[in-house]
Amino acid sequence: MSSKREQGFTLIELLVVSVIVGILATLVAMTYSGVQAKNRNGSRQNHINSLQAQLETYYALKIRYPSLSELNSSEWRKQNLKNLPDDAVRDPQWNDTLTDCTEKGKPKLAAAPEEKCYSYQATTTDGSPCTDEKTACTQYTLTAIYEGGEKYVKTSVN
């Protein structure tokens, strides 16, 4: 008598393969989301660096930095910071529900560091806040918050 074994996979083999595929899919998804976060953090860094370069150019011409209200005016930025890209004040994860950095459905710089928003704090020589164009702003701090909570900060050169 000869017995013939049936062809196919056992239930154990199928379960092992399913577990391995699940683990690999999880690793790929986690790696992909980490790469995306690094890209967004790189964009944040580029935006803050662009803002800083334009602010220093403005300072060289006017011997003062703009106030927060000036910098938040898109018309003022078009006239005074001509080489600043339109999206330089918009965090990659910004959305119009963020009340501290949204005005009329458009992004603006916040007065204090906040996730998903860039912040700009202009001060006078004695450290008091610089609120309008009549005040001589002599220093500033630009801040972006990375995903993960770390801050990227640039301050005035002067």
Predicted confidence (pLDDT) per residue in 25-39, tens digit:
888 887 777 888 999
- Whether 102 is in a domain gets the answer yes
Range of the domain at 111: 13-155
Which residues, 6+ apart, have CB-to-CB distance to 37 below 8 Å? 147, 148
Mean pLDDT of the chain: 90
Pull the structure tokens for residue 157: 């050169």
- Whether 4 is in a domain gets the answer no
CB 119, CB 142: distance < 8 Å? yes
- Whether 8 is in a domain gets the answer no
CA distances from 54 to 31, 41, 122, 154 (A): 35, 20, 15, 13
Helix (H, G, I), strand (E, B) or coil at 114: strand
Through-space distance between the first and last CA atoms of the chain, rounded to whole angstroms: 96
Alpha carbon 95 to its chain's center = 12
Q: Residue 1: is its pLDDT beyond 70?
A: no
CB 122, CB 65: distance < 8 Å? yes
**What is the per-residue pLDDT for 93?**
94
What percent of the chain clears pLDDT 70, i.e. is strictly above it? 96
- Whether 7 is in a domain gets the answer no
- Whether 6 is in a domain gets the answer no
- Whether 22 is in a domain gets the answer yes
Q: Counting beta carbons within 10 angstroms of the beta carbon of residue 111, is it exposed (0 to 12), middle (13 to 18) or buried (19 or more)?
A: middle
Predicted confidence (pLDDT) per residue in 98-116, tens digit:
888 999 899 999 999 999 9
d(CA 43, CA 92): 7
Q: Residue 148: is its pLDDT beyond 70?
A: yes
pLDDT-derived band at 4, boundaries 50, 70, 90: low
Q: What value does the CA radius of gyration of the chain take, rounded to a whole number of Å?
A: 26
Q: Give the mean pLDDT of 128-145.
A: 89
Tally of structural domains, the chain = 1
**What is the per-residue pLDDT for 100?**
87
- Whether 49 is in a domain gets the answer yes
110 pairs with which residues across the strands? 119
- Whether 124 is in a domain gets the answer yes
Predicted confidence (pLDDT) per residue in 44-68, tens digit:
999 999 999 999 999 999 999 999 9
More confident residue, 23 or 158: 23
